């Protein structure tokens, strides 16, 4: 692609982004050379093609993978030939220019924060997230832990929460997202959320109020119902019909300033079920030790669970 066409594609992308118009600078660039205006007009006409809008929609849903490199390279090449590669990429480029808002908590700490768009986020202990609110997209990276999102509705700016295991995309809703044990678990409290696993192109799932599922190793679990009226971690409780002890301990470590460590991997795989008080981790692990036949020893580094 020529330099002039590249510049024209960038100006077209900026025009598509209502939040980044620079009319005076654009007019200066356009009047500097007649070929500038011609190149811009060609790119702009192509940017209004419905086929491009569909390509942009599909690019949001699909992942690029080595086995399909030829297919995606051809698509990217076609867009570049039309001078539109920058147009398609601009929303993400624009988002990455936005300085992230970093929210984090220490173990045992809860925090409620309101983002600039009105979205309210409740962070569990030992949780970190980075939020970028752009002119056309809103994106949060859940770096660690668990958070509850009450998303402000904005149809023009989709809201996505990403993690290495997958992503959840919404327009306006309330949901909980947890990173734990190599998986990303979504619980929808209100509205509709699309859960997509990371990695290869797989099916996605749309969850509605009272539904829960998780993404792990590029796959989705079955969708299960949960009780909307039951207490959750925000009130200091976890109710489960069976999870590995290691996952429960991971949750407890978000609530406990004193680390809890499982010495034996086999013990970590043992399943436990019930209604657990998360904000009293020391008492809980001692009760579990009596019920499941393991020992709890306090060391200088924390609590050690072993057979």
Q: How far is CA 270 from CA 178, 233, 267, 285, in A?
A: 21, 22, 5, 14
Per-residue model confidence as pLDDT tens digits over 124-157: 999 999 999 988 889 999 999 999 999 999 988 8
Residue ranges of the chain assigned to CATH 2.60.120.1440? 101-225
- When pLDDT is averaged across residues 15-43 and rounded to a whole number, the result is 74
The CATH number corresponding to 101-225 among 3.40.50.450, 3.40.50.2000, 1.10.3470.10, 2.60.120.1440 equals 2.60.120.1440
Q: Are strands 224-225 and 211-216 parallel, antiparallel or unpaired?
A: antiparallel
Q: What CATH fold (topology level) applies to the domain 233-306?
A: Phage tail protein beta-alpha-beta fold (3.55.50)
Residue ranges of the chain assigned to CATH 3.55.50.30? 233-306
> Would you state the structure tokens that stand for residue 243, as one six-digit string?
């999870």
Per-residue model confidence as pLDDT tens digits over 99-121: 889 999 999 999 999 999 999 99
């Amino acid at each position: 692609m020529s330099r002039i066409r590249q510049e024209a594609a960038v100006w077209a992308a900026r025009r598509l982004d209502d939040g980044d118009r620079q009319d005076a600078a654009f007019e200066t660039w356009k009047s500097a050379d007649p070929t500038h205006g011609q190149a811009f007009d060609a790119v702009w006409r192509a940017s209004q093609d419905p086929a491009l809008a569909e390509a942009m929609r599909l690019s949001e849903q699909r992942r690029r993978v080595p086995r399909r490199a030829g297919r995606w390279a051809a698509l990217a090449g076609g867009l570049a030939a039309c001078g539109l590669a920058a147009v398609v990429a601009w929303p993400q480029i624009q988002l990455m220019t936005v300085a992230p808002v970093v929210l984090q908590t220490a173990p045992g700490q809860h925090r409620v924060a309101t983002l600039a768009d009105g979205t309210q986020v409740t962070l569990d202990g030992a949780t970190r997230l980075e939020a970028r609110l752009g002119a056309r997209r809103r994106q949060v990276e859940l770096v660690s832990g668990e958070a509850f999102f009450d998303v402000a509705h904005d149809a023009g700016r989709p809201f996505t929460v990403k993690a290495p295991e997958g992503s959840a995309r919404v327009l306006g809703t309330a949901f909980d997202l947890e990173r734990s044990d190599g998986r990303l678990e979504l619980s929808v409290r209100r509205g509709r959320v699309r859960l997509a696993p990371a990695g290869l192109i797989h099916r996605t799932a749309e969850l509605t109020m009272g539904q829960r599922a998780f993404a792990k190793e590029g796959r989705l679990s079955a969708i299960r119902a949960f009780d909307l009226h039951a207490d959750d971690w925000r009130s200091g409780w976890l109710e489960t019909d069976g999870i590995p002890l290691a996952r429960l301990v991971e949750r407890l470590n978000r609530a406990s300033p004193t680390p809890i460590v499982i010495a034996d991997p086999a013990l970590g795989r043992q399943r436990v079920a019930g209604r657990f008080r998360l904000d009293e981790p020391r008492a809980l692990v001692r009760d579990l030790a009596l019920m499941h036949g393991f020992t709890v020893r306090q060391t200088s580094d924390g609590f050690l669970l072993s057979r």
